[in-house]
Amino acid sequence: MARPLTALDLGAGNGWLSNRLAQRNHNVGAVDLTLNDFDGLGCHRFFDSAFTPVQAEFDLLPFPNGAADLLIFNASLHYSENYLKTLSESLRVLAPNGTLVILDSPFYHDARSGGQMVEEREGLFAKQYGFRSNALKSRNYLTYSTLQELRAQLNVDWRFITPNYGLLWEMRPFKAKLLGGREPAKFHVVVGRSSD
Ligand SMILES: C[S@@+](CC[C@H](N)C(=O)[O-])C[C@H]1O[C@@H](n2cnc3c(N)ncnc32)[C@H](O)[C@@H]1O
């Protein structure tokens, strides 16, 4: 059996992924800012497996250098206000042969499509709740060129794994083009390893 890893689930929310990793005998820290018990770290008490909830900002991790074998940003990296800062801090904590995984963050070729998606989302939120919910300057999306810049700045090689979401999903870009809509987001599993 593979050895248990020390893993950090960064932006863990209610900790469901931490729970799944802990069920596989990994040593897991679930890191988030929120502590409530409906979508925050307080939910850890509802899970059977043992993992450690840690209230922290992912730009300032309370862990020593090289402490983790695996870092996962699951639907959370795009909340970062500064990808270089967030990922530099992650890499500080990552062991030299460790793996960084980014998943469930929206990717665009064209930053204008990402900007349009944010505009649409904030507009809907404002309609529903009366304010745009944009006090945090989260980046909200990634572009492929952003990731290439980060590759050069951080010396990380990225590998893209693209799950098959079915034909209808694959057709979305063509449909958008035909109807004059913006580029739809893509969601990859991005695996990063230090190239040093
Ligand atoms: C969309 S949720 C994803 C939660 C969980 N990973 C999942 O897949 O269900 C994003 C999470 O990132 C957390 N988050 C956002 N910015 C953060 C930061 N700077 N430091 C730590 N957590 C952060 C939020 O509190 C939220 O729980």
How confident is the model over 95-139, as pLDDT tens digits?
999 999 999 999 999 999 999 999 999 999 999 999 999 988 999
Task: Examine residue 178 and state whether it is found in any structural domain, yes or no.
Answer: no
What percent of the chain is predicted at pLDDT more than 90? Answer: 95
The DSSP bridge pattern shows strands 52-55 and 27-32 to be parallel
pTM above 0.85, yes or no: yes
The pLDDT score that the predictor gives to residue 39 is 96
* pLDDT value of residue 98: 97
pLDDT in tens, 21-65: 999 999 999 999 999 999 999 999 999 999 999 999 999 999 999
Identify whether 104 is part of a domain: yes
Closest Cα to residue 63, out of 89, 44, 37?
A: 89
Question: What SS3 class is residue 9?
Answer: strand
E strand intervals along 5-125: 6-10, 27-32, 52-55, 68-74, 94-108
DSSP strands (E only) in the chain:
6-10, 27-32, 52-55, 68-74, 94-108, 142-143, 156-161, 186-194
Which 3 state secondary structure label does DSSP give 145?
Answer: helix
Q: Evaluate whether residue 27 is within a structural domain.
A: no
Ligand 1 shell residues, CB under 6 Å: 11-13, 16, 31-34, 57-59, 74-76, 79
DSSP letter for 65, please.
Answer: T
Does any domain span residue 132? Answer: no
| DSSP 3-state of 102 | strand
Cα–Cα dist 104/9, whole Å:
13
* Total domains in the fold of the chain: 1
Token pair belonging to 28: 């897991």
Per-residue pLDDT, 2: 81
Residue 183, CA atoms < 13 Å, CB-side half-sphere: 15
Q: How far apart are the CA of 196 and the centre of ligand 1, in A? A: 29
What's the chain's Rg over C-alpha atoms?
18
Parent domain of 71: 57-108+139-166+185-194
pLDDT score for 1: 58
Per-residue confidence at 196, pLDDT binned at 50, 70, 90?
confident
Residue 149 covered by a domain? yes
Q: Measured in angstroms, how far is the CA atom of residue 32 from the centroid of ligand 1?
A: 6
pLDDT (0 to 100) of residue 195: 85
CA 73 / ligand 1 centre spacing (Å): 8
CATH assignment at residue 94: 3.40.50.150
Is 128 inside any structural domain? no
Q: Which contiguous run of DSSP H or E holds residue 174?
A: helix 172-179
- Which residue is closest in CA terms to ligand 1's atom 1? 75
Please indicate, yes or no, if residue 81 is contained in any of the structural domains.
yes
The pLDDT score that the predictor gives to residue 51 is 98
pLDDT tens digits, residue range 143-187?
999 999 999 999 999 999 999 999 999 999 999 989 999 999 999
Residue type at position 40: G
Q: Give me the amino acid identity at 134.
A: N
Domain membership of residue 64 (yes or no) is yes
Closest alpha carbon to 102 in 55, 48, 62, 139: 139
